[in-house]
Amino acid sequence: MTEAYFEPLGTDDGWEVFRATPHTVSAWGPDLQHGSPPSAVLTRAMDRLERAKSTRIARVTVDLLGPVPLGEVRTRARIVRPGRRIQLLEAELEAGGRIVARASAWRMAVGDTAEVEQSADRPRELPEVDHDSGFFDRWTSGYIDSLEIRGAQDGVVWARPTLPLVSGEEMTPAERVMSVADIANGVGAVLEPDEWRFLNTDLVTHLHRRPVGEWIGVTADASIGPDGVGATSGTLYDEAGAIGHTLQALLVERV
């Protein structure tokens, strides 16, 4: 098995073609991908689209249109709104002849605002050992097993992928954070996964700061409505402090 989430298979009529490996497998089913690998490979398609050092991705929205299978998948991306300071990007993920996920991203010009840098979220410390990530011991999959995880005593779950997103490539900062951000749904879970399914249909990630380093910290809280719909909101960290926030819509149903 390729030691990466995706193995590159070349290009085909404007699409980049990959093989999604078993390392992408979701806890919800052995033939489905976890939300993080599709989110990351869609971000990759946008992040590497005519990228300039003077810009970076500030927000990514991923809509999961259905189950994302293993095996051959393909991505393509385009600039919807070109501009020197602000660009809107879009990407699609296809599998089996259908679009299974879509993403959009705002990419913005970078400048020097260090003198006014601030965050409403206090920094969190990466622990040297795992204090409590027991939830992921009870709820495992090919994807979750690919992560090195440390639970912190202040409720943060820290994770870093042990595999590259695409075989033979280094992840960009945006790809790295999106390869982890979707675990907020698990981190913030308030229901037992052997009794309830709480599937997120999307992932919205805002990054007010470019992540530094390999570790991404996640805190999250879930709210469950009375009619089968819920939402999870999360905060993302690197070792220097908060880097952004996530939102996810949930479909909640009994197993």
Asked whether the beta carbons of 159 and 177 are under 8 A apart, the reply is no
Q: What does the pLDDT read at residue 118?
A: 93
DSSP H or E segment with residue 39: helix 36-47
Q: What does the pLDDT read at residue 2?
A: 76
Q: What does the pLDDT read at residue 6?
A: 98
Q: What does the pLDDT read at residue 235?
A: 98
Q: Of the candidates 32, 23, 33, which has an alpha carbon nearest to the alpha carbon of residue 2?
A: 23
Q: What does the pLDDT read at residue 55?
A: 94
Per-residue pLDDT in tens (0 to 9) along the chain, 255 residues: 579 999 999 999 999 999 999 999 988 888 899 999 999 999 999 999 988 789 999 999 999 999 999 999 999 999 999 999 999 999 999 999 999 999 999 999 999 999 999 999 999 999 998 877 676 776 778 999 999 999 888 889 999 999 999 999 999 999 999 999 999 999 999 998 889 999 999 999 999 999 999 999 999 999 999 999 999 999 999 999 999 999 999 999 999
Structure tokens at 61: 């929205």
Residue that has been written with the tokens 């296809």 in this structure:
94
Residue 84 phi, psi (nearest 5)? -75, -35
Cα–Cα distance for residue pair 63/47, rounded to 1 Å = 17
Residue 22 phi, psi (nearest 5)? -60, -15
- Enumerate the β-bridge partners of residue 106: 59, 88
Cα–Cα distance for residue pair 165/175, rounded to 1 Å = 8
The hierarchical CATH code for the domain 6-110+126-254 is 2.40.160.210
Cα–Cα distance for residue pair 133/143, rounded to 1 Å = 15
Parse the chain into domains and list their residue ranges. 6-110+126-254
Cα–Cα distance for residue pair 36/25, rounded to 1 Å = 10
DSSP 158-177: EEEESS-SBTT-PPPHHHHH
Q: What does the pLDDT read at residue 253?
A: 96
The answer, as to whether pTM is greater than 0.85, is yes
Q: What does the pLDDT read at residue 1?
A: 59
